[in-house]
Structure 1
Amino acid sequence: MILEEIDKLRAQLATRACRGVLLISGDKDRCELMLADLETELENPLLVCRYVVGEMEPALRTAVLGSECDTLIWNFHSEPDINTLAASAGCLRRGGLLLIIAPETDDWVDSFTLADGSPSLFWQHVLRELERWPWLTRYEGGRFIAPDEHFPDLPEGDALPTADQVAAMHRVSRVLHGHRKRPLVIRADRGRGKSALLGLSAAEFLLEDRGDILLTAPRKEAAMTALHHAAQSLGVANGEPSVGDSRLRFLPPDRLLAELPEARLVLVDEAAAIPPALLERLVTAYPRVVFATTVHGYEGSGRGFDIRFTESLNRLTPQWQQIELQEPIRWSEGDPLEALVSRLFLLDAEAPISASADVSDDCVVELLDKHLLLNNEALLRDVFGLLVVAHYQTAPSDLHHLLDSLATHVWVARLFDGTVCAAALVIEEGGLPESLVEPVLQGERRLQGHLLPQSLVYHGGLVEGLSLRCARISRIAVLSDYRRQGFGRRLLQEIEQFACDEGLDYVGSSFAADAPVSEFWLTQGYLPLRLGVRRDPCSGSHALLVAKPFTDIASEALMPLNSRFARHFMLGLRETYPRLEADLIRQLINQLPVEQPLHEDERRDVQRFALGEIAFEHAYPALFRYLQSRPLAELPASEDINLVIARVLQGLSWSELAARHQLKGRREVEHHLRQGYRLLLSLELSNSRF
């Protein structure tokens, strides 16, 4: 019976080139038996669940990226991984059917519960969106219930490459063969074939055999579609295809920027999930770059990319170009399932737009009740959209955590017109038993949901790290029009007051460190405690851990860690952070206390080097000590000072510095190095007069 009805439904979908949803509701045991039968009867279904049904293994998110299917099964009885659900939705072809196996809708509140027994707000949101969708077919109590509306007739779509892709390939060709420093940005919603486009373009250019093409993405999995289409177009095995002496090479962003290999063209897939600071460096390092980005989706925040990186392109390469792919390739244009998936996971959430044109510092800061978020859809979309824009990488599971995590609080600052101008996610951590200290210290235990306490113990050796209670700000965002107006500071102050009232020991955060973000935290009195020794492969940045103590016990525990950071940071620049950004180094140096004053003979060596009387090698110890012991006056932002930091503190070679600063060898580099020290000495003299 059910298979016959499914066949009829699939036939309707096929004739209309539409994708549909069948919700099969029932108790877990009955649904599991039904699922086992469907798995044997249906042809190659893609199953998303956590446990094995028959011989079917659980689908992994990385495995479904780029794959296609005609039947997709979501098993909600298994509490599947939210990110896998969102990723798998893009695998369903036109005419395909999404089967959702779930509890009876009347039982959802009791079926999806949290650790304290309260109902899951996220799954209530999912049910609400499913019930609102007018094309939902149901199977309940042994009978089918037809949807409220007939499936729309949709176009069949074109074979690859689509007209959209052909037009975009011409634009990519202009980047390669036209004027330099005119990067192209390709924007598209999910399923528009932007990754395939990059692969097809790369294959076409490889046939010219005039040099390598580089492909980068936040993860290699995200680049596999482009690599596959390039190899398929050239008729070679999957991998990194080559023609003659030319090859399509994949390199992650951090390695690409560290090595800077020669290339005719650089292709950047899922650019929205790569921090703008790294994208800026790519534009500066390579004259021909193409960026492809998802406008909405789990791969990253396309809207955040639009706001932040396009500002950089306007400044660095004002003649940059843009094109948008509109035509879907796996499903038909106007497919209603695409809109449903976006609503289920808020993939299309964007930052709010203020009704007022005036920027005012008048705002109300409040801790939101999560039931209010669930019942106020506009507010939920505004808050989540703002948090998406502010972060380099957002996943659908973040929505799940926002609504359901018992330790997570949502704070917002709202203007008089109701606009959410700032938002923060705050997670309570710590308060753990001392019995866990030794396993954490030895690296035998990883504590989910306690990032800061675990780091303080494992990296800092702080025995009290687990027992101290803290509020970790996992994300804080301010609407672009209202930045640097004090809204982030107001929000942070209210969170700090809440932490004090609740008896928490400290407030802290760990974030991908760049100069603007670090400046915000350091100017609010947060102490740098640790800088990660490796760059995160997704963010391309080192993680900076900061904290502000609010109890005596926290001060006694955290201040020594800050002191150790001060002692070790400058010594670690040469060995551990040789390519840390100069602006960030300058900020952190300005936070370090002066512990050892400079001796007169050392000052004399610095002065003699600045005047050109002695060589760098003779003066190096004094040059280093001068930076280590100089007053806390802010180091100025200038190319000469950046060069001082890179050579004296980070130990970069003369040749690398010459190439980086476009200078002619050691002689010019050393000249600018002397100018940098002359500037520092003059600033010190000027400050001493006041």
Structure 2
Amino acid sequence: MSVAALAAALRDAARESNHRRLLVLAGAREAGIDAAFDAVEGAEVPDDEVTIVTARDGFRFDRVAPEHARELLGTTRTAVICDAHESFSPNVVGRLVGTVDGGGLFVLLTPPLEEWPDRPGDFEASLAVPPSGVDDVGGRFRRRLVETLRTHPGVAIVDVDAGTVVRRPDDSGVSAAASRSSTAITPSSQSSRRFPQAAYEACLTTDQRRAVRALEALAGPDGTGESDGDIATPQAVVVEADRGRGKSSAAGLAAGSLAAAGSDVLVTAPDRRNAADVFARARELLDALGALDEPGEGNEGANADGTLVATGGGRVRFSPPAEAADLPEAPDAVIVDEAAALPVRLLSAFLDADAVAFVTTVHGYEGAGRGFSVRFRDDLTEAPHVVTDVSMREPIRYAPGDPVETWAFRALLLDARPPVDEAVADAEPSSVAYRRLTPDELAADESLLREVFGLLVLAHYRTEPDDLARLLDAPNLRVRALEYDGHVVSVALLAREGGLDAETRSAMYEGERVRGNMLPDVFTSQLRDEAAGVPVGYRVVRIATHHAARSRGLGSRLLDEIRAEFDGAADYLGVGYGATPELCSFWERNGFETVHLSTTRNESSGEYSALMLDPLSEAGRKLRDRHARWFRGRAPGILADQLRDADPDVVRAALASCPPPEEPPTLSDREWRVVVGAAAGPGQYATAPDAFRRLAFAALVGAPAGGDSGGEEVGLTPREERLLVRKVLQTRPWGDVADELGFVSTRQCMRAFGSACGTLVDRYGAGRDVVRRERARFEE
């Protein structure tokens, strides 16, 4: 059978079931490209319905470079050709599979399948983290991918070098097409529907109509989302679906409906491109309703910033997650798209809105969503909102049971889950076993791999298919786990860093990025320590414990085992993460100490990053000590400038986790008189703010008192510590500090500051003659 005839047969079968088919053209690249042209012609796919994703130029089809494959998310094509000979990665497959329409073909050009696992490409080269080379990168992911191609239903394979069909698709495991209902959901009465009929007519599936109906909870009784008495009880709607179910379109139809009724709708997502479908559907609905305000020149129906404005004064606008969490301009309703790709702390901030929708992917390229469903649900349950849940299962582009979708889920582990709760619910630190999991063991045991990867997905709010390949093939990564009764209950992913030669360290110092060496890179390029790349360390990239066994010390037990294993074999353990008070405290309890706080926020999480070290050797201790010393030296300056808006509890926790100096703070006699005056008399902070800054900083990092100045504990309350952070270290206005910390007046806040100063004087100045004399004057 020729390639053209095979492609025609595949497309006939695909159209009959409203599924897709996967055609693998294995062999030399040029032969594969020629065969792809034959396949498109044989399947009678018009050129304008074909996209080829390749690094090469010169095709009659629409061409997209692999690094721009993300741009195809949300689009629909009859045939997509993916050139895996160059610039291929698991992410590319994850982005492309969902763009093929029902009845279409996904064509994959590969090297000869028996050779592919041993022929590393650009992606594999990116896994060659110094000092490793590309020859150290494994081929396990590609081997696994080849195995799925050879065994999964709906996949045909052609050897283009030999001109033979190696495998015709086995469709015995492919379910028949499900009939798609076109019957609209009918509420109890037409008048009870809050969104316009056009919103429901625009839906493509029953599931989508159910989702739009559920999103009516964001509107008041008159169909608006305005919160001035219309929404008596806060409302939250959670829309969960696999990729390709039309959840973003449903959110867009809801946004357009709300805007048409005069509501101000704020949309956020990890990236503006993630929200493209929301804005596209909202615009189409407003246009269909005749409610889209006249655009400005070149705006195509929107303001210059992309905001959609309705004739009745409503609008649909976008803000990045960290900005949107502050609910700028008090929106009437908030829609959080791809919510699973945001950290739980940020998601919880949106519960300050009276009307909020969380729209998220359960499985798919955007993230598995278990962190959302497990962790955020606790916050959602405690919130005052009435929660409406809706799940969408019916695909938009193809019928249920599509073999290409199930192949992608299997090949990329998009549906990986940790063990069921019952399997690990009784796990305790005393009943688990430590295990060093090798890449070969993971590749050979599908159940083990799924449990490990499922837990790692929980550990981070954004996990991509590339992470699976890194787990299996990156030479710098190590996996360590705790097992209970044969199941993984806690897992850590470690990255080997450092051990770099002089040439690499010099290049890094001069600004060159060195992959996979995050801590040495920051220490060298940002903090100007060229020797930081000499020690060998293991950075904890992710650590996760099964939610059914959390808060029992399993994470700490795992870190203890890791420390024992690498003690003497490495110089330090390290970690870098978006700083929250809870995480800072966790890492401090486990022996890690702060050596750096970033001065810019992560765009998605809105958090500043903390870097911490746990030395394992003398070289590690020297690295820790000098960076802790430098951090203590620069922290007061950056807290008053770049970190002026950092959460005071994050600052408190980060400073408390920093190794303290060996010496107490130094103040002149005049400065001590000012501080004592502020504590017990008419002295003022503004007279010598730097003296107060040195004392406050010393107290928060646990500097010794020296002499006979008191015990080990400073004695400040948490509120007093926050006061010192906000006023003294971050130099915020008195009125703002008083409001934030809940003082009834600025005067009360200043009195509390005087009391805190008294505690500082007790700690650091009690043994000094100048302090005794000054205090005696006020006590007379």
TM-score (norm 2): 0.80
Structure 2 residue matching 1:427: 3-state secondary structure: strand
CA contact (8 A) 2:354 2:385 kept: no
Choose which of 132, 147, 157 in structure 1 pairs with 2:169: 147
**Equivalents in 1 of 2:527, 2:137: separation in Å?**
36
For the structure 1 residues 149 and 635, does the alpha-carbon distance in structure 2 shift closer, same or farther, using more than 3 Å as the test?
farther
Is residue 630 of structure 1 aligned with residue 630 of structure 2? no
Give the match's secondary structure for 1:306.
helix
1:668 aligns with 2:720: no
Q: Is the 8 A contact 1:643 1:673 kept in 2?
A: no
Tell me, yes or no, if the aligned pair for 2:678 and 2:757 is still in contact at 8 Å.
no
Cα 1:645–1:184 change in 2 (3 A) is: farther
Which segments of 5 or more consecutive residues in structure 2 lack a partner in the other structure? 125-133, 183-200, 221-230, 293-299, 703-712, 767-780
Distance in 2 between the 1:414 and 1:551 partners? Answer: 29
| Separation in 2, partners of 1:76, 1:635 | 63
* Matched AA of 2:32: C
* CA RMSD between the two structures: 3.1
Q: Which residue of 1 aligns with 2:726?
A: 646
Q: 1:298 to 1:16 in 2, by over 3 A?
A: closer
Distance 1:611 1:317 in 2: 45
What does residue range 105-504 of structure 1 map to in structure 2 within 5 Å? 105-112=113-120, 115-116=134-135, 120-140=139-159, 141-144=162-165, 145-150=167-172, 151-155=174-178, 157=180, 158=182, 160-161=202-203, 162-177=205-220, 178-210=231-263, 212-235=264-287, 237=300, 239-244=306-311, 245-257=313-325, 260-284=328-352, 286-317=353-384, 319-353=386-420, 354-362=422-430, 363-415=432-484, 417-443=485-511, 445-502=512-569, 504=570
- Shift, 1:538, TM fit: 2.5
**Partner in structure 2 of residue 548 of structure 1:** 614
Cα distance, 1:67 vs structure 2: 1.0
* 2:266 alignment partner, SS class: strand
CA contact (8 A) 1:206 1:248 kept: yes
The whole-number CA distance in structure 2 between the counterparts of 1:678 and 1:301 is 50
> C-alpha separation between the residues in 1 aligned to 2:596 and 2:699?
22
Residue deviations 1:48-104 (CA, integer Å, cap 9, x gap): 334446463424232111111111223333351221210111111111111222234
Distance (Å, rounded) in 2 between the aligned partners of 1:117 and 1:509: 24
Cα distance, 1:643–1:89 mapped onto 2, change above 3 Å: farther
**Alpha-carbon shift at residue 205 of structure 1 (Å):** 1.2
1:681 CA drift (Å) = 5.5
Q: Give deviations 1:527-577, integer Å, cap 9, x for gaps.
A: 222111111112321121112223323333331111111222233223111
* 1:426 alignment partner, SS class: strand
Contact kept, 8 Å, 1:530 with 1:545, in 2: the verdict is: yes
CA distance in 2, matches of 1:181, 1:659: 25
Cα deviations by residue, 1:383-403 (Å, 9 ceiling, x for unpaired)? 000000111111110000000
Secondary structure of the equivalent of 1:317? Answer: coil
Answer whether contact 1:36 1:54 (CA < 8 A) is retained: no
Which of the residues 517, 529, 532 maps onto 2:598? 532
Query: What's the counterpart of residue 36 of structure 2?
Result: 35
- CA–CA distance in structure 1, aligned partners of residues 687 and 107 of structure 2: 74
CA drift of 1:356 comes to: 4.9
Q: Does 1:591 align with 2:657?
A: yes
Alpha carbons of 1:534 and 1:357: their partners in 2 closer, same or farther (altered >3 Å)? Answer: closer
Kindly provide the amino acid, as one letter, of the partner of residue 729 in structure 2: L
- Deviation for aligned residue 1:604: 7.3
Q: Deviations over 1:223-271 (max 9, x none)?
A: 1111111122223636321114433211111233468332111111111
323-332 or 596-605: bigger deviation? 596-605
Per-residue deviation, 1:607: 7.2
Contact 1:275–1:540 (Cα < 8 Å) also in 2: no
Change (3 A) 1:263 1:376: same
Say if 1:32 and 1:53, in contact at 8 Å, map to a contact too.
Answer: no
Deviations 1:149-190 (A, max 9, x none): 355331353574133233322332322323343322221111
Residue identity matched to 2:260? L
Distance change >3 Å, CA 489–CA 680, structure 1 → 2: farther
Match of 1:58 among 53, 65, 74: 65
Query: Matched residues in 2 for 1:355 and 1:33: separation?
Result: 52
- Report SS of the residue matched to 1:533: strand
User: 3-state SS of the aligned residue for 1:46?
Assistant: strand
Q: Is the 8 A contact 2:676 2:757 kept in 1?
A: no
Deviation at residue 37 of structure 1 after TM alignment: 5.1
Asked if 1 retains the 8 angstrom alpha-carbon contact of 2:714 and 2:760, the reply is no
Whole-angstrom CA distance in 2 between matches of 1:319 and 1:676: 41
Of 624, 628, 631, which residue of structure 2 is paired with 1:562? 628
Structure 1 range deviating more: 28-37 or 365-374? 28-37
The number of residues matched between the two structures is 681
Percent of aligned pairs with the same amino acid: 27
Amino acid at match of 2:269: A
User: 2:6 maps to what in 1?
Assistant: 5
1:97 maps to 105
For the 8 Å contact 1:214–1:266, the answer to whether it is kept is yes
Question: Secondary structure of 1:300's partner?
Answer: coil
Q: Quote the Cα distance in structure 1 between the aligned partners of 2:318 and 2:715.
A: 38
Q: Return closer, same or farther for 1:79/1:147 CA change in 2, 3 Å cut-off.
A: same
1:579 aligns with 2:648: no
What is the CA deviation profile of residues 389-434 of structure 1, one whole-angstrom value per residue up to 9, with x for unaligned ones?
A: 111111110000000111111111112x112111111121222221
More off after superposition, 47-56 vs 398-407: 47-56
Residues 50 and 411 of structure 1: CA distance in aligned 2, closer, same or farther (over 3 Å): farther
